[in-house]
């Protein structure tokens, strides 16, 4: 079989954008030569709709501009695909976790990969490589990650055997993140495992964003697939503002097409977030109500009951707005508010989300409240303040809490406040969406609620975590001879209705990346639109050195959040929660 190749200019090891070669790179995804290169077993915790042949996603050419890419690329690739490989469609999947010695890799990525293997969702021929600067052997990596692997799904038998089989597929390579030579050595090891088959390679960048481009450059020039696909999962944060995010995207796209970049926001993989479109578009009872005509306000609330604890140095560079609001909460908002997409195709859904973001007003400083937790004594225990963290500067103004009011300028949502609230060291841990409906016009029973008409409104609550559930608050008559009204919940508690444990968000997102399903990943224009909404307010906060309002560790946050809500005649829905 004839192969075609492209010549790649040499690149220096510098990570600056000016030194990045703009020429076509071997990392750019090539045309899959065999439409049945990878198949999945039928057995899976996911529906058979999701577990499809790779051919369904990759039988067409993936490029950023619609032009055909070369069939083969990469220097020093002497592998020739035999006719036997053509007829059998033999292929292999290589997953490389860059930053394998970090907490995210140990606690989330490796356990998610094992869960996929345990459920039969990975192809038969796969290998997992850890890559980091730390010097480790294969056995030391296996020992490190084995303590975090669990057979939590149904606690089925033969857990130990499955774990042993998975660990045998895990290997380690130590190297520098900016060393082409080290990635060339990694490439040799990957080829040994791939044994001349069609190689599909997935890189997960579990590393700080300042070394993203170094890793992509080195892997591009030395460790991309010659005959299959190569994809890269990038963890947030995607920059600090519009300018830095745009620069990062431009640098990555000198080595990757947009279709190869999988910007992960693990909240999009949460079961209840993925259920948002199902709840709305497949239930007639909700779709007609999903507009300004019936909805008074929407609240997106995120809270953690712990402080920075060990992450102070990292967190202080970003703050709660960049860490939670600009990505997690804004992504949920876009999914919630989008118009009905043409189809469930990834591009159709992501295009509708972009329309929502472009219809929104940029966040104004007067619509933002920021806070920072302080030390507090409670129950004989002392809780440290944010600036008590030794990794945080003593006079840091970085907010650990923020509340914001945002608006969408379109016919469906005009005038409806979307309130966001996120904070650390609060009284509880949770994430939820609260939809407060309008008052009933001419309510016959308003006297039963005295003067507090808010108690007479319906509320839909989607609890993302913990104790996943959906409940609708309605007005109901209390049984008895009198006419006394009560607010009751129609409750769908997932652990009661669906006793099987819900897969972790990383499992779903990793499987989607392997399958080439981009629906739950963030597109570059979507990222640009998101930063355009927050960058002006962020710059003003920092330039004016706005002092955050202090709130005690373990409290409900600063009082200013309540004034912000009342400004738009809104009461935070979680105030009545324990």
Q: Where in the chain are the domains?
A: 91-235, 271-503+523-568
Cα 258 to Cα 234: distance, rounded to the nearest angstrom: 12
List the structure tokens of 353.
């989300």
List the structure tokens of 40.
């999945």
Mean pLDDT, to the nearest integer, of 176-190? 93
Residues with Cβ < 8 Å from 198, sequence gap 6 or more?
A: 33, 34, 37, 81, 85, 89, 90, 91, 92, 227, 228
pLDDT higher than threshold 60 for residue 217: yes
Mean pLDDT, to the nearest integer, of 122-136? 92
Q: What pairing do the DSSP bridges indicate for beta strands 376-378 and 459-465?
A: unpaired
**What integer pLDDT is reported at residue 35 of this predicted model?**
35
**What integer pLDDT is reported at residue 450 of this predicted model?**
52
DSSP reduced 3-state for 485: strand
pLDDT category of residue 243 using cuts at 50, 70 and 90: very high
Give the closest residue to 120 by CA, choosing from 160, 158, 162: 162
**What integer pLDDT is reported at residue 51 of this predicted model?**
39
pLDDT higher than threshold 80 for residue 290: yes
**What integer pLDDT is reported at residue 386 of this predicted model?**
93
Q: Which residue has the higher pLDDT, 179 or 35?
A: 179
pLDDT higher than threshold 90 for residue 457: no
Which residue in 266, 328, 376, 439 is the catalytic one? 328
**What integer pLDDT is reported at residue 573 of this predicted model?**
87
First to last CA, the chain: 67
DSSP reduced 3-state for 108: helix
- 68 burial (CB, 10 Å; 0-12 / 13-18 / 19+) is exposed
Q: What pairing do the DSSP bridges indicate for beta strands 381-383 and 376-378?
A: antiparallel
Mean pLDDT, to the nearest integer, of 386-390? 91
Kindly provide the residue ranges of all beta strands, DSSP E only, lying in 323-478, ordered along the sequence: 368-374, 376-378, 381-383, 401-406, 418-423, 430-437, 459-465, 469-477
pLDDT higher than threshold 50 for residue 414: yes
In the CATH scheme, what architecture does the domain 91-235 have? Answer: 3-Layer(aba) Sandwich (3.40)
Average pLDDT along the chain: 82
List the structure tokens of 445.
């029973």
Q: Which residue has the higher pLDDT, 181 or 443?
A: 181
pLDDT higher than threshold 50 for residue 260: yes
Mean pLDDT, to the nearest integer, of 33-59? 39
pLDDT higher than threshold 90 for residue 57: no
Strongest mean pLDDT among 84-93, 442-451, 486-495, 529-538: 529-538
Strongest mean pLDDT among 36-50, 76-90, 226-240, 418-432: 418-432
How would you list the strands of the sheet with 170-174, edge to edge? Answer: 170-174, 126-132, 91-98, 198-205, 230-235, 261-264
pLDDT higher than threshold 50 for residue 33: no
Cα 230 to Cα 147: distance, rounded to the nearest angstrom: 30
- 149 burial (CB, 10 Å; 0-12 / 13-18 / 19+) is buried
Among 133-142, 152-161, 254-263, 294-303, whose mean pLDDT is lowest?
A: 152-161
pLDDT category of residue 157 using cuts at 50, 70 and 90: low
Q: Which residue has the higher pLDDT, 103 or 42?
A: 103
pLDDT higher than threshold 70 for residue 42: no
**What integer pLDDT is reported at residue 422 of this predicted model?**
96
Among 155-159, 317-321, 460-464, 470-474, whose mean pLDDT is lowest?
A: 155-159
Among 63-67, 169-173, 273-277, whose mean pLDDT is lowest?
A: 63-67
Q: What pairing do the DSSP bridges indicate for beta strands 368-374 and 401-406?
A: antiparallel
**What integer pLDDT is reported at residue 242 of this predicted model?**
93
pTM of the model: 0.81
Q: Please count the residues of the chain.
A: 578
**What integer pLDDT is reported at residue 299 of this predicted model?**
97
Q: Which residue has the higher pLDDT, 538 or 38?
A: 538
List the structure tokens of 260.
């190869």
- Let me know: does 484 contact 478? Beta carbons within 8 Å: yes
| Percent of the chain residues past pLDDT 70, beyond the cut | 81
pLDDT higher than threshold 50 for residue 30: no
**What integer pLDDT is reported at residue 453 of this predicted model?**
56
pLDDT category of residue 24 using cuts at 50, 70 and 90: very low
pLDDT category of residue 452 using cuts at 50, 70 and 90: low
**What integer pLDDT is reported at residue 79 of this predicted model?**
39
Mean pLDDT, to the nearest integer, of 380-403? 92
Kindly provide the residue ranges of all beta strands, DSSP E only, lying in 317-417, ordered along the sequence: 368-374, 376-378, 381-383, 401-406
Residues with Cβ < 8 Å from 416, sequence gap 6 or more?
A: 292, 295, 296, 297, 298, 407, 408
Q: What is the helix (H) or strand (E) element at residue 514, kind and residue range? A: helix 505-515
CATH 3.30.360.10 fits 271-503+523-568, yes or no: yes
- 328 in active site: yes
pLDDT category of residue 237 using cuts at 50, 70 and 90: confident
pLDDT higher than threshold 80 for residue 203: yes
Among 152-166, 396-410, 496-510, 511-525, whose mean pLDDT is lowest?
A: 152-166
**What integer pLDDT is reported at residue 455 of this predicted model?**
63
Give the closest residue to 318 by CA, choosing from 437, 428, 231, 238: 238
pLDDT higher than threshold 50 for residue 446: yes
């Amino acid at each position: 079989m004839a192969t075609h190749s492209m010549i790649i200019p040499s690149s220096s090891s510098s990570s600056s954008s000016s030194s990045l070669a703009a020429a076509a790179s071997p990392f750019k995804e090539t045309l899959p030569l065999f439409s049945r290169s990878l198949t999945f077993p039928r057995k899976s915790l996911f529906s058979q709709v999701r577990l499809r042949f790779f051919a369904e996603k990759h039988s067409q050419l993936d490029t950023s501009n619609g032009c055909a890419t070369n069939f083969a690329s990469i220097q020093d690739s002497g592998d020739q695909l035999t006719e036997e490989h053509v007829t059998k469609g033999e292929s292999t999947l290589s997953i490389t976790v860059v930053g394998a010695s970090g907490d995210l890799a140990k606690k989330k990525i490796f356990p998610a990969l094992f869960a996929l293997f345990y459920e039969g969702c990975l192809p038969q021929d796969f290998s997992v490589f850890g890559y980091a600067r730390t010097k480790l052997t294969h056995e030391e990596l296996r020992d490190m990650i084995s303590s975090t692997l669990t057979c939590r799904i149904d606690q089925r038998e033969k857990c130990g055997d499955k774990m042993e089989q998975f660990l045998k597929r895990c290997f380690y390579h130590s190297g520098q993140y900016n060393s082409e030579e080290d990635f060339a050595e990694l490439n040799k090891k990957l080829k040994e495992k791939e044994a001349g088959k069609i190689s599909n390679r997935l890189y997960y960048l579990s590393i700080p964003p300042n070394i993203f481009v170094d890793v992509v450059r080195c892997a591009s020039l030395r460790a991309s697939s010659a005959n299959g696909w190569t994809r890269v999962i990038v963890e947030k944060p995607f920059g600090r503002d519009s300018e830095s995010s745009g620069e990062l995207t431009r640098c990555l796209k000198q080595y990757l097409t947009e279709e190869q970049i999988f910007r992960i926001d693990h909240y999009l993989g949460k079961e209840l977030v993925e259920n948002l479109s199902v709840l709305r578009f497949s239930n007639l009872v909700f779709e007609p109500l999903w507009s300004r005509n019936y909805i008074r306000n929407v609240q997106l609330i995120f809270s953690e009951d712990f402080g920075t604890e060990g992450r102070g140095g990292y967190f202080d560079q970003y703050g709660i707005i960049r860490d939670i609001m600009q990505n997690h909460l804004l992504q949920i908002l876009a999914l919630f508010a989008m118009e009905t997409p043409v189809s469930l195709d990834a591009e159709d859904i992501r295009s509708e989300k972009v329309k929502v973001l472009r219809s929104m007003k940029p966040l104004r400083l007067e619509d933002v409240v920021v806070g920072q937790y302080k030390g507090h004594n409670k129950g004989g225990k002392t809780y440290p303040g944010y600036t008590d963290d030794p990794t945080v500067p003593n006079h840091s103004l970085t907010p650990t809490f923020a509340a914001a009011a945002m608006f969408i300028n379109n016919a469906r949502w005009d005038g409806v406040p979307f309130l966001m609230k996120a904070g650390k060291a609060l009284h509880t841990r949770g994430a939820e969406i609260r939809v407060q409906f309008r008052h009933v016009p001419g309510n016959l029973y308003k006297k039963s609620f005295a003067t507090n008409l808010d108690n007479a409104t319906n509320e839909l609550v989607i609890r993302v975590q913990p104790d996943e559930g959906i409940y609708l608050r309605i007005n109901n008559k209390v049984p008895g001879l009198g006419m006394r009204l009560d607010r009751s919940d129609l409750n769908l508690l997932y652990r009661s209705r669906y006793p099987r444990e819900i897969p972790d968000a990383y499992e779903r997102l990793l499987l989607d990346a392997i399958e080439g399903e981009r629906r739950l990943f963030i597109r570059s224009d979507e990222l640009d639109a998101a930063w355009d909404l927050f960058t002006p307010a962020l710059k003003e906060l920092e330039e004016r050195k706005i002092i955050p309002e202090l709130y005690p560790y373990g409290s409900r946050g600063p009082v200013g959040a309540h004034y912000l809500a009342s400004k738009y005649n809104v009461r935070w829905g979680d105030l009545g929660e324990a």
